[in-house]
A and B are shown apart, each in its own frame.
Chain A
Amino acid sequence: MKKTSLLLLITLLCLSVVLAACGKNSNTGNKGNTGNEGTANNAEKGNDAPKPVKLSILAWNNEKEMKPVIDGFKEKYPHISFDFQFAPPVKDYIAKLQTMLLSNTAPDIFIIAAENRNEIIDGGYALDLTDEPFMSVMLDSNKPMLSKDGRTYAFTQSGWAGGLFYNKQLFQKAGITKLPETWDEFIQDCLKLKEAGIIPLYDRMHDITIIHSAMFGSNVLTKDPTFDEKLFKGEATFAEGWTEVLTMWKEGLIDNKILTPDMIGLTGDQVMNEFSLGNVAMFPGGPWNIATIEKTNPDIEFEIMPIPGKEPGNKYYNGAPGVGFAVNSKTKNKEEALLFLEYMTTQEGLKQFEEGTGGIITAHGYESKVHPAYAPAYNDGLMAGKIYLPMVSWDRHQEALRNQFLVSIQDIAVNKITPEQATASLDKKLKEMENK
């Protein structure tokens, strides 16, 4: 019997260790919160020597990229330190934030992206920043992505535009002297390159590509800028807006074998590498590619160009506002979190953010320096508002529609379905998601 009681004791010990481990988490969590509460109260009282506060932040820029702006802030407010967390964009970041929000462990400051803005804003997870004075720095064209019913929930200081990078030397070799003004001219140029023995274009067809987005801009939005609004009110369909775009894309690029289905298997790095090495004349890319292209091949002469529409003069880039920084609505350090956001809107903060992340600043009163190869996209696209990204413009179900779109364009590329079938499947998907 003695043996039994010993065994019983051991089992109980095991169990208590397990239970203690479970309990510990919640204890430390509470402790942390109460600690923060205390310091926040002190700060509110305006004590001369503010007690140290630890701001937690989850970003998809890594620590190295965020270091300049965080260091600048810490210099100004030495009593505030950071618990910095990073998750790589996009899926990992969204999944991590989602878990944290649902388990009430979300950080004081986090990022809202096009992919999760509805869930965050509708769930009431982000503080309404509309009336904060520092929000005046934000461009109006950057606001819709981070707003709902006229209220803005995050601050973004950046934006990006993507287009087609082209190799000037290869264009010359093929006898192309000026950039295409219409879609037909663009296709003619591609065929000229092909005749000269040059691969005209690589595209991975891995997403709603830069080409598709810009084509939609130059063909549909130039006629009706409110198309997406109507689409989500049920007054328009994908078939009405996208069938022509996808037909032009298929007839121009797929049927002429300028894009071939084997490109589906390429990776982004492979495409960029082939362009840098001069093996292909064009590839769709954005500002993030420039440094690597120059590093791989310092002698390359290249520039970015828009995608022209059917009619001359209608040119668009693909692009969107950068992700926005939001304050957790349940934060215990509201004042400090807002201080950090305010710091990011100052000239100093904007400069440090630009330096650290290499992003392009699109804020009132700040002039961003861009690479000469990127100047057309910056001037004629980003600052002129000639950019379009479906995931930002679509009101709901972005991810579901995006996946359906991706599958559809690959099916078109391998000649499994027609553009009409593709847009019908998008309309079906939207209907299904609305009724789920």
Chain B
Amino acid sequence: MVKYVRQLQFLLFLLPILAIYSLFTIYPLIKSFFLSFTNFDGYTEAYDFIGLKNYVRIFSDDAITSAISYTLFFTFGKALLVTLLAIPLAMILDQKFLTRNIHRAIFFFPSIPSGLLLAYIWGFILAPIGSGVLNSVLSELFNIGPQPWLSAPLLAKLSTIVVATWAITGWHAVLYLAFLQSIPKDYYEAASIDGANRLQQIRFITFPLLAPAMTVSVMLLLTGGLKVFEIPFALTKGGPGYETYSITQVIVLRGISETQYGLASAMSIVFFLIVLAIAIFQVTVMQRREQGIQ
């Protein structure tokens, strides 16, 4: 009885936040699901049920098929680049040197301003004309003519990935740094007594013990990457053509600009399921890897 009452107390404390969560998260989600079967246009309250028509339309929409392929390319490209850069960066920042704290701050800084702002600044750097910062540097140093950083399909895709990686690597390095610092120094001492060199220490101690950090970091990178909007939008507006349209941009475009809320709702439901599936798959696989290592 006492145990039951205690549990009830906890539940009571959860009530307010549960109410808020339901109001602002669960309810819109259900409403969105409901609207995805209608032709609601966002203006008039009168709308009809049209069954699965919206869901059928998604897959004949050029924009969404192009957006799915770009978003996946962006997400995995960024996740790979960030992971490859953040771990070595974290290891360097973990060393003892004089300007260590300043360096940590410098690398962390790009993740603070909004993506939109960063992308606008990068827009000046990557400006495709001869007077663009990067192009003038390239032409001064290597005599290379202006490159269409943001308007050739492949270059535009790569540019968005590079800018996004630049912005977030420091943040993930700090995440890895926190895990690095929790690795007991004794392991390294023991290993060096046994004659292990630095590379072997990294391979057999640091890397396996960083596995939980990698699970978290990669999950954040994947879910964040799939939800990307600001950086490609501010850099290229989705162009040229549909080449750098992200899934979220198509949802905003169809929903708000074109007043097809029903269709946009159906898109977000499908998108939600894709993110959910990828996140569950990734976490399960990487947790299994963690257990395997440990």
Contact = CB atoms under 8 A, between A and B. Distances in A.
Given A7-B12, A122-B43, 18 more contacts: A11-B12, A18-B19, A91-B256, A95-B256, A102-B43, A123-B44, A261-B240, A262-B129, A263-B151, A264-B239, A265-B126, A265-B148, A265-B149, A265-B156, A397-B258, A410-B240, A425-B62, A436-B263
Contact of A265 (B39, B63, B150, B256): B150
Contacts of B123: 265, 267
Contacts of A264: 128, 148, 150-151, 236, 239-240
Contacts of A236: none
A15 B16 contact: yes
Contacts of B277: none
Nearest to A90: B257
Contacts of A262: 128-129, 146-148, 151-152
Given A4-B9, A101-B43, A265-B149, A18 B156 contact: no
Contacts of B20: 18
B257 A403 contact: yes
Nearest to A402: B257
A101 B15 CA distance: 33
**Interface core residue of B20, B42, B258 (most chain A CB under 10 Å):** B258
B129 A274 contact: yes
B241 interface: yes
Interface in A1-53: 1, 3-4, 7-8, 11, 14-15, 18
Nearest 8 CB-CB pairings of A with B:
A265-B150, A262-B148, A262-B128, A264-B151, A411-B241, A410-B240, A400-B258, A119-B43
Contacts of B147: 262
Interface string B5-37: 100110011011001100000000000000000
B241 A414 contact: yes
Contact of B257 (A261, A267, A399): A399
B227 interface: no
A410 B127 CA distance: 17
Contacts of A7: 9, 12-13
Given A91-B257, A413-B240, A414-B240, A123 B43 contact: yes
B253 A261 contact: no
Contact of A14 (B16, B43, B45): B16
A270 B39 contact: no
B80 to A, nearest CB: 25
B265 interface: no
Contact of A436 (B12, B241, B260): B260
Contact of A11 (B15, B39, B149): B15
B43 A266 contact: no
A433 B259 CA distance: 11
A347 interface: no
Interface string B36-80: 000101111100000000000100001100000000000000000
B179 interface: no
B153 interface: yes
Contacts of B235: 265
B258 A403 contact: yes
Interface of A: 1, 3-4, 7-8, 11, 14-15, 18, 91, 94-95, 98, 101-102, 119-120, 122-123, 202, 206, 260-267, 270, 274, 279, 397, 399-400, 403, 406-408, 410-411, 413-414, 416, 425, 432-433, 436
Given A98-B42, A399-B259, A4 B239 contact: no
Interface string B244-279: 000000000100111110010000000000000000
A399 B42 CA distance: 14
Contacts of A3: 9
B253 A403 contact: yes
B260 to A, nearest CB: 6
A17 to B, nearest CB: 8
A15 B19 contact: yes
Given A265-B236, A407-B242, A436-B263, A122 B39 contact: no
A102 B156 CA distance: 38
A410 B148 contact: no
B131 interface: yes
Contacts of A399: 257-259
A56 to B, nearest CB: 20
B153 to A, nearest CB: 7
A436 to B, nearest CB: 6
Nearest to A202: B129
Nearest to A397: B258
Interface string B78-117: 0000000000000000000000000000000000000000
B179 to A, nearest CB: 36
